[in-house]
Amino acid sequence: MPALLRHARTAYAASMRSALDAAGFDDIPKNGLYVIGGLALDEGSHPLGDLITELRLSKQAAGQLVDTLVTRGYLDRDVDAADRRKLTIALTERGRAAARVVATAGATVDAELLERIGPKDLERARRVLFVLVDIGRGLDVQASAARGASHDL
Lowest mean pLDDT among 92-106, 117-131, 132-146: 132-146
Tell whether 131 is covered by a domain.
no
SS3 87: strand
CA 7/CA 4 separation, integer angstroms: 5
pTM for the model stands at: 0.81
pLDDT above 70: percentage of residues in the chain: 96
Q: Is 112 inside a domain boundary? A: yes
Domain-located, residue 150: no
- The verdict on residue 20 lying in a domain is yes
Query: By C-alpha distance, which of 105, 106, 101, 82 is closest to 91?
Result: 101
Is the predicted pLDDT of residue 47 greater than 80, yes or no? no
- Evaluate whether residue 64 is within a structural domain: yes
Query: Does the pLDDT of residue 25 top 70, yes or no?
Result: yes
Rounded distance between C-alpha atoms, residue 147 and residue 65, angstroms? 27
Residue 60 lies in a domain: yes
Order of strands, sheet of 87-91, starting from the edge strand that comes earlier in the sequence: 46-47, 87-91, 75-79
pLDDT of residue 51: 73
Q: Please report, for residues 49, 145, 148, the alpha-carbon distance to residue 85 in angstroms, rounded to integers and kept in the order given.
A: 11, 26, 24
Give the pLDDT confidence score for residue 38 in this predicted structure: 84
Query: What is the span of the domain harbouring residue 40?
Result: 2-117
Q: Report which of residues 130 and 59 the model is more confident about.
A: 130
- 105: domain CATH number is 1.10.10.10
Residue 21 located in a structural domain: yes
Give a yes or no: residue 127 inside a domain: no
Q: Say whether pLDDT at 151 is over 60.
A: no
**What is the tens place of the pLDDT at every residue in 53-107?**
777 788 888 889 999 999 999 999 888 778 788 888 899 999 999 999 999 999 9
* pLDDT score for 85: 80
